[in-house]
């Protein structure tokens, strides 16, 4: 996670000279939450279909 952050922060400094870090962290958290929930739902669905 620490290695990915510099590549995420770098383009945002070019777009906005003063990016709001709170909005960015909320965006990243929502994206990670959606990604994890989607992957968990997919694995649960695939596991359920295999057992039946």
pLDDT value at residue 47: 84
The pTM of this model reads: 0.44
Write a three-state SS string for 16-43.
CCCCCHHHHHHHHHHHHHHHHHHHHHHH
How far from 35 is each of 1, 23, 39, 42, 45, CA to CA, in Å? 15, 18, 6, 11, 15
What are the average pLDDT values for consecutive 10-residue runs of the chain, which has 52 residues?
53 58 85 93 86 63
Query: Using an 8 Å Cβ cutoff, are 49 and 41 in contact?
Result: no
Domain-by-domain residue ranges, the chain? 20-52
């Amino acid at each position: 996670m620490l290695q990915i952050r510099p590549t995420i922060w770098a383009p945002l400094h070019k777009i906005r000279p003063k990016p709001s870090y709170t909005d960015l962290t909320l965006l990243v958290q929502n994206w990670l939450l959606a990604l994890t929930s989607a992957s968990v739902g997919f694995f649960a669905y695939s596991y359920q279909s295999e057992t039946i």
